[in-house]
Amino acid sequence: MKRRHFITQGIGAATALGLAGGAAAKTARQVSVPGYSHSPFKLKYAPSFGMFQAHAGKDLADQVRFAADEGFTAMFDNGIMGRPAADQETIVREMAKRGMTLGPFVLYADFSKESFVLADKDVREMLTAKMKEGVETMKRTGCRQALVVPGRYSQRLFWDYQTAHVIDNLRACLDVCAPAGLVLVLEPLNRRDHPGLFLFGMPQAYAICRAVDSPCCKILDDMYHQQITEGNLIPHIEACWPEIAAFHIGDNPGRKEPTTGEINYRNVFGTIHRKGFNGVLCMEHGMSRPGREGERAVIEAYRACDQF
What averages of pLDDT result for each successive group of 10 residues across the chain (308 residues)?
A: 41 33 34 61 98 98 98 98 97 98 98 98 98 98 98 98 98 98 98 98 98 98 98 98 98 98 98 98 98 98 98
Beta bridge partners of 246: 220
Helix (H) or strand (E) holding 145: strand 145-148
Sign of CA dihedral 220, 226, 229, 232: positive
Is the distance from CB of 188 to CB of 222 less than 8 angstroms? yes
By three-state DSSP, how is residue 117 classified? coil
| Ordered alpha helix ranges (H), the chain | 3-9, 23-30, 53-56, 60-70, 85-97, 121-141, 159-177, 202-212, 223-229, 233-240, 265-274, 291-305
d(C-alpha 283, C-alpha 251), whole Å? 10
Residue 60 neighbours by CB under 8 Å, 6+ apart: 49, 87, 90, 91, 94
Cα–Cα separations (whole angstroms), residue 111 to 3, 66, 240, 291 = 10, 34, 25, 31
Q: What is the predicted pLDDT for the residue at 38?
A: 86
Domain boundaries in the chain?
3-305
Beta strands 244-248 and 145-148: pairing type?
unpaired
* pTM of the predicted protein model: 0.88
Q: What is the predicted pLDDT for the residue at 305?
A: 98
First to last CA, the chain: 27
Q: What is the dihedral of CA 289, 293, 299, 304, to 10 degrees?
A: -80
Q: What is the predicted pLDDT for the residue at 51?
A: 98
d(C-alpha 272, C-alpha 200), whole Å? 21
Q: What is the predicted pLDDT for the residue at 36?
A: 53
- The CATH label, of 3.40.140.10, 3.50.50.60, 3.20.20.150, 3.30.2020.30, for the domain at 3-305 is 3.20.20.150
Q: What are phi and psi of 128, to 5 degrees?
A: -70, -35
Is 253 exposed, middle or buried, given 0-12, 13-18 or 19+ CB atoms closer than 10 A?
exposed
d(C-alpha 228, C-alpha 130), whole Å? 30
Residue among 71, 74, 80, 88 at smallest CA distance from 35: 71
Q: What is the predicted pLDDT for the residue at 65?
A: 98
User: What letter does residue 193 receive in the DSSP assignment?
Assistant: T
User: What letter does residue 153 receive in the DSSP assignment?
Assistant: P
Residues constituting the chain:
308
Q: Omega of the bond prior to 253 within 30 degrees of 0, cis?
A: yes
Maximum separation of any 2 CA atoms in the chain, in Å: 61
Question: For residue 127, which amino acid is it?
Answer: L
Q: What is the predicted pLDDT for the residue at 20?
A: 33
